[in-house]
Structure 1
Amino acid sequence: MQTLAISPLTTAQAVVSMLEVNGIDTIYCLPGVQNDPFFDALYDRTNAIRPIHARHEQACAYMALGHAMATGKPSAYVVVPGPGFLNTTAALSTAYAVNAPVFALTGQIQQAMIGRNVGLLHELPDQLSIMRGLTKWADRLRSPAEAPGMVNEAFRRLLSGRPRPVGLECAMDTWARRAPVELIAEPARPDPCPVDEEAVERAVKLLGAAARPLIVVGGGAQEAGEWVRLIAEMLDAPVMTGRMGQGVLDGRHKLSVTMPAGYRFWGEADVVLAVGTRLQPQQQNWGLDDSLKIIRIDIDSEELDRQRKPEIGIVGDAAATLKALANRLAGHNAKRNGRAEAVAETKAAAAKRIRETLAPQIGYLEAIRRALPEDGILVDELTQMGYAARLAYPTYKPRTFLSPGYQGTLGWGYATSLGAKSARPDTPVVSISGDGGFLFTAMEMATAAQHGIGVVAVVFSDGAYGNVRRIQQQSFNNRTIASDLRNPDFVKLAESFGLDAVRVKSPEELGTAISRGIAKGGPMLIDCPVGQLPDPWPLVQVPRIRPRKS
């Protein structure tokens, strides 16, 4: 490990230096007294690390989340302790759910007072325990000398294995403490993850002999698209992409299918290759039986048999493992006459049903898809348009469809899209929200304007928490409660923050407005009033298709 000459530094200076060494060029932040020395140290390095300060701590963490999801690389945020840190925990739990490498850096009260419950400003009974419950690793900085090693350890853990968030906290007096520090000159490296050659050989033989293979990909396959495509074409196997797997295989590819078609293929498959996915809806809801053989590839050994032990479980990096599998498959692969035609027919039938069931949503989604270039990023939300997008929006490139995964974090979308755009400033970014979710972080339009973050935000406004209201109408005899909303004039609200804003009334007008917003490059809000939209849940809440239990 290469180090630099020992020199007197504060803990804050050492941390900022190591963030820079590890490639952090943007930090999402909201300053406060417990972190004053950190921001003073950051001031001297703003040529290398750009601070983007938000109007609420939740947005700091959401922006870091969007940055990490759009790039696949570590991102960082820094906030004050206590309520400041707690305000970030919805985003931190979402980062945990979607396997995003987010580095949470928080302040603390004076080091000698931690855990004494004396009632100091922003004191929590045990902040570090809360942080540890929402990350894969968290610790406390206690001195300047240990800062370089601990920051690099945080990044090593971010880069190794399952890429979940990590955290460090530092007491307000420790930030300013000065001592001789030996900085580390090299960034952290991920732990090696060799290919399990023996397991790959067994998987090749099982896959090659399959009559009706199916591939299921999740977020863990985002860097393995080339090998997924090659294996799918060799097997004539449909590739099912859920929320987190969209973009692994180009949505226009003849073998790419979303969940409704994938449901039908799950019922007939004899071998499933699952890559970087929990397989939660398939295993828990769609059913398992002894005739279905599952091969799982996952970087997390605990994930392989969390619900049922697979026929073959392979712990490893998705891209490296699939490359090894692809290179051996030809020697074991059987012919599957007519399989490609059957896939096309099933895919077409599922697409027809989606269009007939969700015609208004599909019209708007098609307008968004036409307006966005191939590498344009769409950030979905817990809204009727977002639910439909997970079923029907064709994603062409990896990391261009961002979703909160199983956490289902209402209100995450707009702030997260700001992080994605700041990380990839040359890539168009569109966020879609309902009127309920958008107001969770609407004040971050000020952040977009101040920092020139050119997200095009679309608000589909129906004056309600639409999904809640529909359930109350359908399942509770129309006893609607706490679901209607009183909204501001979204156009005037956005204009008051300095954003370009427009109201549209049709898919055609929406597409035109998005194109204009992308061309102008500045932040924009589009208000799109809609009535009550068709129910997407019949396409999602489907009965077990493999009813025989093992």
Structure 2
Amino acid sequence: MVVGESARIRGGDAVLRVLEANNVDTIFGIPGVHTLDIYDALIDAGKINHILARHEQGAGFMADGYARATGKPGVALIVTGPGVTNVSTPIGQAYADSSPILLIATNQERKYLDKLEGNLHEMTDQMGFMKPITKWNKRVMEVGDLPAAVTLAFEALAQGRPRPVHVEIPIDLLAEEFAMPSVAPAKVVTARPTDDQIQQAADIIKGAKRVMIFTGGGANTDECAPFIAGLAEELGAPVVTSLMGKGSIPEDHPYAVGAFGYRWSNDNPSVEAMTGSDLAIVIGTGLGVRTTGDGSMPLPRKLIHIDIDPSEIGARYDVELGIVADAAETCKALLDAVHCGARSQERWSSSEVKAIREKIVAPADERTAGYIPYLNALRTGMDRDAILVNDMTMMAYEGVRYFPIFEPRTFLFPRGFGTLGSAMPTALGAKVGRPDRQVVSVSGDGGFQFTLEELGAAVHHQIPVAIVIFNDGTHTAVKAAQKRTYPGRYIAVDLVNPDYVKMADAYGIEGIRAESPEALTEALNHAKAKDMPTIIDVPIQLENY
């Protein structure tokens, strides 16, 4: 939408005008004395909702969850100094996982920037602090430049790899008045493949015996997923996904092998799809060291690599053809080429793919088998298009392989940064962005306590998320690592926990203790009908020490 020219207004009002022009409907933040002018303008900005977090880290996670669930930029409004350092963890997570966040942060008055003069919240280089975890930064030094700067931030968000951007505004600009020009939405240009690239890809496909497809987070969108399914069906190509690609094809599709798991190992059943193909179409993944087991994943020697980030093409595996373009546009063009005859010499049969898939979903060992009833209970208690928001916890690690997902953007995971405690506030942001979807967060008892204060935001804004806490009284992943590395020697991993059901009662919401997988399903179905958050405490003892 275009926001028309206005009389003289404050810088704080101008920021909101540009957000409105770019169809922002929600801001996550906490007011402070440095952001009063923007918050005062929010009173009159009826089109923008504000979610009051209880900590800037929570605001950042909420913005990240909103972005991951919707594909639209999440917006966080943060105060100078400690507000910025607090939000840096979720911004770092969003950077690692290619999630688009617009961070609007204040700083000191212009005459005090980057100086230590004894002012509140001062830092010597706040911009420098944020640069390593944002892809674009702009410090605005004149109030008249504010509209253009925020518009440029939206353009940066829309170009290339989706990652956070940062606009820094000295606080004296926010109260200063100027004549606001009309503001148009940011220009968005989609990177499309060339005709020559599609022809080269078609020729490579025609020369292949059998094809497989490997997808990452860049393919896990509503726009791209139908074309991936179409390519799989037309080529008879099995689809293996990374953790971040989980959801790019329904995992009950005849050609879906599924996600290989949290960690790669060469005894994984998906190896059959790789070694049985002589061409891989790799979509929306950098094939990073964690995804590929430091390059040990036996992908076919011939690769067509499609990614929006040119630095990822051929960085770790040699490629026959690299295409730097939007994944959905490229897959659409490839599918058109396949329809015109660009087919491999042979197809995988759906029965062959099903046999691999059955091996994927079979428990890898006795220990893993203990987790599967709880994952099945989660799935049974969730809608097909429900959003599962994972923390760094053992149940979530096993869920990468054993929890089936059917829609894009419905399996959210802090993969790159591995941020403990992110799930619950990320789920709140996801629910705000997708109020039409059931949203469930999964945390361990230790991780949940990192951000439990955001229960206040959930209750305050009546965000009906099911908050599942798998409770075994310890930091399980670390204790298991201690067992492997120093058998019998444990330190600083066992926890003293609150009663989470009583905690729910203290917030005036329902708390349920689910003592079995069946009780977990029942609790999820119960929570689904609520218009407030529900805590579901699930006592487990699934590891042996």
Paired residue secondary structure (1:285):
coil
Structure 1 unaligned residues grouped into runs of 5+: 536-550
Aligned-pair CA distance for 1:336: 2.4
Residue 269 of structure 2: SS of its match in structure 1?
helix
Paired AA for residue 423 in structure 1? G
Q: Contact 1:13–1:38 at 8 Å: present in 2 too?
A: yes
1:342/1:356 Cα in 2 relative to 1: closer, same or farther (>3 Å)?
A: farther
Q: How far did 1:337 drift? A: 5.6
CA-to-partner distance for each residue in 1:273-314, whole Å, 9 max, x for gaps?
Answer: 111111124545353789611111111111112223411100
Question: Which residue is 1:305 aligned to?
Answer: 314
Tell me the residue number matched to 1:364. 374
1:119 partner SS:
coil
Q: Partners of 1:350 and 1:290 in 2: how far apart?
A: 17
Give the one of 476, 482, 490 matched to 2:492.
482
1:121 positional shift: 1.1
1:117, distance to aligned residue in structure 2 (A): 1.9
**Contact 1:354 1:392 (C-alpha < 8 Å) held by counterparts:** no
1:286 and 1:143, CA in 2 relative to 1: closer, same or farther beyond 3 A? Answer: closer
Question: 1:177-236 CA distances to partner (integer Å, 9 max, x unpaired)?
Answer: 11222131x211212423222122111222233233221111111230111011111221
CA RMSD of aligned residues (A): 1.9
CA distance in 1, matches of 2:182, 2:497: 52
Q: Is the 8 A contact 1:355 1:362 kept in 2?
A: no
- CA pair 290-53 structure 1, distance change in 2 beyond 3 A: closer
Tell me if structure 2 keeps the 8 A contact 1:18–1:183.
Answer: no
Corresponding letter in the other structure for 2:77 = V
In structure 2, how many angstroms separate the alpha carbons of the residues matched to 1:166 and 1:390?
Answer: 29
SS in 2 for 1:146: helix
Matched, 1:61 2:94: no
Distance 1:267 1:528 in 2: 41
Measure the CA separation in 1 of the matches of 2:143 and 2:337: 51
For the 8 Å contact 2:16–2:42, the answer to whether it is kept is yes
Instruction: Give 1:43's aligned amino acid.
Output: I
Percent identity over the alignment? 36
Secondary structure at 2:328 match in 1 = helix
Q: Secondary structure of 1:34's partner?
A: coil
- Inter-CA distance 398–504: structure 2 relative to 1 (3 Å threshold): same
Out of 277, 281, 293, which is 2:285 matched to?
Answer: 277
Q: Rate the CA distance shift 1:496–1:28 in 2: closer, same or farther, 3 A.
A: same
How far apart are the structure 2 equivalents of 1:271 and 1:109?
A: 55
Are 1:143 and 1:177, in contact at CA under 8 Å, matched by a contact in 2? no
Preserved CA contact (<8 Å) 1:108 1:171: yes
TM-score computed with the length of structure 2 as normaliser: 0.94
The 3 A distance-change label for structure 1 pair 140 and 73 is same
Q: 1:2: Cα distance to partner?
A: 7.0
Query: What SS does structure 2 have at the residue aligned with 1:407?
Result: coil
Match of 1:33 in 2: 33
Q: Distance in 1 between matches of 2:427 and 2:317?
A: 36
CA distance in 2, matches of 1:516, 1:128: 47
**Corresponding residue for residue 169 of structure 1:** 168
Q: Distance in 2 between matches of 1:437 and 1:364?
A: 18
TM-score by length of 1: 0.93
Among 211, 216, 219, the alignment partner of 1:218 is 216
Number of matched residues? 533
414-423 vs 490-499, which deviates more? 490-499
Question: Which stretches in structure 2 are left out of the alignment for 5+ residues?
Answer: 261-267
Given the superposition, is the C-alpha separation of residues 523 and 476 from structure 1 closer, same or farther in structure 2, using an over 3 Å criterion?
A: same
Distance 1:412 1:306 in 2: 30
Deviation by residue 1:218-258 (Cα, 9 ceiling, x = unmatched): 11112301110111112211111222111110111122122
Moved more, 405-414 or 450-459: 405-414
User: 1:382 aligned to 2:392?
Assistant: yes
TM-superposition CA deviations, 1:411-447 (whole Å, max 9, x none): 1100100000111112110000000110011111111
- Higher mean displacement: 189-198 or 401-410: 189-198
Of the structure 1 ranges 389-398 and 283-292, higher mean CA displacement relative to structure 2 is found in 283-292
Q: Which residue identity lines up with residue 301 of structure 1 in the other structure? A: P
Which deviates the most, 258-267 or 241-250? 258-267
Give the structure 2 partner of residue 187 of structure 1.
Answer: 185
Partner of 1:496: 506
Q: Which residue of 2 aligns with 1:548?
A: none
Q: Which stretch of structure 1 is more off in the superposition, 198-207 or 83-92?
A: 198-207
Residues 484-537 of structure 1: per-residue CA shift (max 9 Å, x gap): 1110001101211122101011110000000000112320000001113389xx
> How far has the Cα of 1:148 moved from its partner?
1.1
Contact 1:358–1:534 (CA under 8 A) maintained in structure 2: no
Compared CA separation, residues 435 and 233, structure 1 to 2 (3 A) = same
Preserved contact between residue 157 and residue 190 of structure 1 (Cα < 8 Å): no
Alignment partner of 2:102: what SS? Answer: strand
Give the aligned residue type for 1:63: M
The residue matched to 2:469 in structure 1 has which SS? strand
